Amino acid sequence: MNKWYVGVDLGGTNIVSGLIREDGEVAARDKRPTRQEAGLEGSIRQMKDSVRAVVERGGVSIHELAGIGIGSPGPIDPFEGIVIAPENLPAWRDVPLKRIFEDEFGIRTILDNDANMAALGEQWKGAGKNAADFLCVTLGTGIGGGAVCGGKLLKGFNGNAAEIGHITIDHNGPQCPCGNRGCLELYASATGIVRWTKVRMAIESPETALTESPDMTARTIFEAARDGDDFAREMFDRTGTLLGIGLVSAINMLNVEVIAIGGGMADAGDLIFEPVQRTILERGLPGVREKVRVVPVELGEDAALLGAAKNAMET
């Protein structure tokens, strides 16, 4: 008899669920809007409906599930199963999601943060498949990180391990919302590259096809770089170099074999991967720097579902 799990990824825009067999086969998927306009209750209803939908689509009964895993934006308390105060879910404050799910379905439910779940999923079935020591980095509005060490998800004593977005790059750098200064995510996230591109344009008036506009995004800069704009290419090079510097700190702490990079910025391909790899070779420890592999993530939306299911299996 196969064991079945449901993995749920709670996001600010969408809720994605998957019915997952214990060997990692995704038997059914569901995606629906988070419906934040309907408040906390509305979003929780969407999550419950999504779980019912995948179970039904997969021809399994809820009571046959061996566990439900949920990935949520942080901060969360994974041990109590509480969503504390995610920036992109303003109605969610101290929500005991684990208890709400267990009351609804009578199935053991395990919660962890979405970056950790993506890391665990990629390590199980994606870019980190054969690496027991693995780091997964998501470059979005901020930078999310999750690490698997010796085959186990690194959680930390209260669930906040592998926050590599808040490694210090410049101790005199700009203030980060976390309270620190000069954090990696202020430089190497999609938001970061836009910020520094605008700063350089304002100070240096470089020759570039980019125009100063509130609509500038990482994609606009990428498109200019792809079309041969030297200044845009330089901005990607700088961003990749700073990301590499942050990753060297992570490599020195964790001695990971594989680092997978995902999120919108990873779509820039060599424009970002090349300076990252060069920087690791320049700055990593001898005996380590030549062996670390930096690769794109492989699983897309499935990563967090698979990770959440695996987390429910192992917790």
Whole-number Å distance between alpha carbons of 246 and 165: 8
Asked if 164 touches Zn ion (CB under 5 A), the answer is no
C-beta of 183: minimal distance to Zn ion in Å? 3
Confirm or reject binding of residue 180 to Zn ion (CB under 5 A).
yes
Binding status of residue 249 toward Zn ion by CB under 5 A:
no
Q: Which is nearer to Zn ion, 180 or 241 (CB)?
A: 180
Choosing from 2, 178, 269, 290, the residue that interacts with Zn ion (CB under 5 A) is: 178
The DSSP 8-state label assigned to residue 301 in this structure reads T
Q: Return the beta strands (E) in the chain as ranges.
A: 4-10, 14-21, 26-33, 65-72, 76-77, 82-83, 109-113, 134-139, 143-149, 152-153, 258-262, 293-296
Distance CA 260, CA 201 (A): 31
- Among positions 166, 218, 273, 303, the unique one binding Zn ion when judged by CB under 5 A: 166
Backbone torsions φ then ψ of 34, nearest 5 degrees: -70, -25
**Separation CA 260–CA 283 (nearest Å):** 19
Q: Nearer Cβ to Zn ion, position 178 or 285?
A: 178
**C-beta of residue 282 within 8 angstroms of C-beta of residue 80:** no
Q: Considering the complex, state which of residue 63 and residue 171 has its C-beta at the smaller distance from Zn ion.
A: 171
Segment contacting Zn ion (CB under 5 A): 49-57, 141-149, 171-179, 191-199? 171-179
Count of residues binding Zn ion (CB under 5 A)? Answer: 5
> Angle, nearest 10°, between helix axes 230-254 and 270-283?
50
Report the nearest approach of Zn ion to the CB of residue 168 (Å). Answer: 8
285 touches Zn ion by CB under 5 A: no
What angle (nearest 5°) sits at the alpha carbon of residue 71, between those of residues 160 and 175?
45
Nearer to Zn ion, 178 or 199 (CB): 178
Task: Decide: residue 73, CB within 10 A, 0-12 exposed, 13-18 middle, 19+ buried.
Answer: buried
Query: For Zn ion, which residue of 38, 176, 194, 253 counts as binding (CB under 5 A)?
Result: 176
Rule CB under 5 A: is residue 183 a binding residue for Zn ion?
A: yes
How near is the Cβ of 3 to Zn ion at its closest, in Å? Answer: 39
Q: Which is nearer to Zn ion, 161 or 225 (CB)?
A: 161
Query: Which residues form the interface with Zn ion (CB under 5 A)?
Result: 166, 176, 178, 180, 183
